[in-house]
Amino acid sequence: MQIVSCPSCGAEVQFKSHASVVAVCEYCRATVMKDADAVKDLGKMSSVLEDFTRIQIGTAGVLGGRNFTVVGRIQLKYSAGMWNEWFLMFDDAGTGWLGDSSGLYTATTEMEATGSLPAFDAIAPGQLYTINGQRFTASEKRVAQCIGGQGELPFRVGEGWQARVADFRAGGAFVTLDYSDGDVPALYNGVSVTLEDMNCQLLRDDEQIKASAGKYRGKLDALECPSCGTGIKYLPGVTTALVCPSCQAQLDAAGPKAQILAKGESVERVRTTIPLGSTAMIFNVQYQVIGAMVRTDDEGTAWTEYLLYNTRANFFWLVETSEGWSRSNVMTTWPQWLSTSSDRVELENATYNKLYDYPATVQWAAGAFNWRVAAGDVVHVFEFENGPTRLAAELTKEELTWSRSTKVSFDQLNAWFGNAMRADPLHKMPNEALPSTNVATKFLWWILGLNAIPLIFNFSGTFFYVVIAILAIYLPAKLFAPEKGKK
CA torsion, ordered 146, 150, 155, 158, to nearest 10 deg:
40
Are the beta carbons of 279 and 241 closer than 8 angstroms? no
Q: DSSP assignment of 14-65, as one string?
A: EE-STT--EEE-TTT-EEEEEETTEEEEEEE-PPPP--S-S--TT-EEEETT
Residue 19 pLDDT more than 70? no
Q: What is the DSSP letter of 121?
A: G
Q: At what angle do helices 462-480 and 435-457 cross, to 10 degrees?
A: 170
Amino acid at 192: S
Q: What is the pLDDT of residue 60?
A: 97
Can you tell me the distance from the alpha carbon of 390 to that of 352, in angstroms, rounded to the nearest whole number?
8
Q: DSSP assignment of 242-311, as one string?
A: EE-TTT--EEE-SSSS-EEEE-----PPP--SS-TT-EEEETTEEEEEEEEEEEE-TT--EEEEEEEEET
Numbers of helices and strands, H then E, in the chain: 4, 30
Can you tell me the distance from the alpha carbon of 393 to that of 211, in angstroms, rounded to the nearest whole number?
37
Give the residue among 224, 225, 283, 219 at the shortest CA–CA distance from 250. 225
Residues 252-292 pLDDT 10s: 655 545 444 444 444 445 778 998 889 999 988 889 898 89
Q: What is the pLDDT of residue 180?
A: 93
Cβ partners under 8 Å of residue 4, min gap 6: 12, 13, 15, 32, 34, 39
Instruction: Over range 41-51, report the average pLDDT.
Output: 57
Q: At residue 265, what are phi and psi to the nearest 5 degrees?
A: -75, 150
Q: What is the pLDDT of residue 102?
A: 74
Least reliable range by pLDDT among 56-70, 255-269, 312-326: 255-269
Give the residue among 83, 91, 42, 44 at the shortest CA–CA distance from 63. 91
Looking at the chain, the whole-number percentage of residues with pLDDT higher than 90 is 45
Task: Give the pLDDT band (50/70/90) at residue 382.
Answer: very high
Q: How many CA atoms lie within 13 A of 386 on its CB side?
A: 15
